[in-house]
Amino acid sequence: MGGTAQLGTDYTLSGVFGEADIPPGASSTTVVLQALTDTLNETNETATMKLTAAANYKVSNMNKATVTIVNVP
């Protein structure tokens, strides 16, 4: 994870941080990012998830996604 938003302060992720469990026979999985409400007056922040390949699987060229957490006063 990268970006200007902070895990635990600005958002939470489902599952174990740094892992995405893809069941046997499946080609994808879902990770849920939940924005957290705070009392700080902040600018919009971003959270970027990048997937990396390992010895037993590959990832496509579209290996990252970015979301913007919008500050609503």
Higher pLDDT, 30 or 40: 30
DSSP three-state, residue 7: strand
Are 29 and 22 contacting, i.e. CB atoms less than 8 angstroms apart? yes
pTM: 0.79
Distances (CA, A) of 45 to 6, 27, 71, 72: 9, 30, 8, 12
Summarize pLDDT for 52-61 with one digit per residue, the tens. 887 777 888 8
| pLDDT tier at 47, thresholds 50, 70, 90 | very high
Nearest to 2 by CA among 55, 63, 61, 58: 63
